[in-house]
A and B are shown apart, each in its own frame.
Chain A
Amino acid sequence: AQSVTQLDSQVPVFEEAPVELRCNYSSSVSVYLFWYVQYPNQGLQLLLKYLSGSTLVESINGFEAEFNKSQTSFHLRKPSVHISDTAEYFCAVSDYNNDMRFGAGTRLTVKP
Chain B
Amino acid sequence: DGGITQSPKYLFRKEGQNVTLSCEQNLNHDAMYWYRQDPGQGLRLIYYSQIVNDFQKGDIAEGYSVSREKKESFPLTVTSAQKNPTAFYLCASSILTAGELFFGEGSRLTVL
Chain A residues packing against B (C-beta within 8 Å): 6, 9, 32, 34, 36, 41-46, 49, 51, 90, 92, 94, 96, 98, 100, 102-105
Contacts and interface: CB of A to CB of B under 8 A. Distances in A.
List 8 A-B pairs, minimum CB-CB distance, nearest first. A43-B103, A104-B42, A102-B43, A102-B42, A44-B103, A43-B105, A46-B100, A43-B106
Given A42-B106, A43-B90, A43-B106, A100 B41 contact: no
Contacts of B104: 43
A34 B42 contact: no
Contacts, number: 53
B46 interface: no
Contacts of B90: 43-44
A100 B40 contact: no
B53 interface: no
B108 A94 contact: no
Contacts of B106: 41-43
Contacts of B98: 32, 51, 94, 96, 98
Contacts of B45: 100
Contact of B101 (A9, A44, A104): A44
Nearest to A100: B101
Interface residues of B, number: 26
A98 B58 CA distance: 13
B99 interface: yes
Of A34, A96, A102, chain B has the most CB atoms within 10 Å of the CB of A102
A41 B35 CA distance: 14
17 contacts: A6-B42, A9-B40, A36-B103, A41-B106, A42-B105, A43-B104, A44-B101, A44-B103, A46-B100, A46-B102, A96-B97, A98-B50, A98-B94, A102-B35, A102-B42, A102-B43, A105-B40
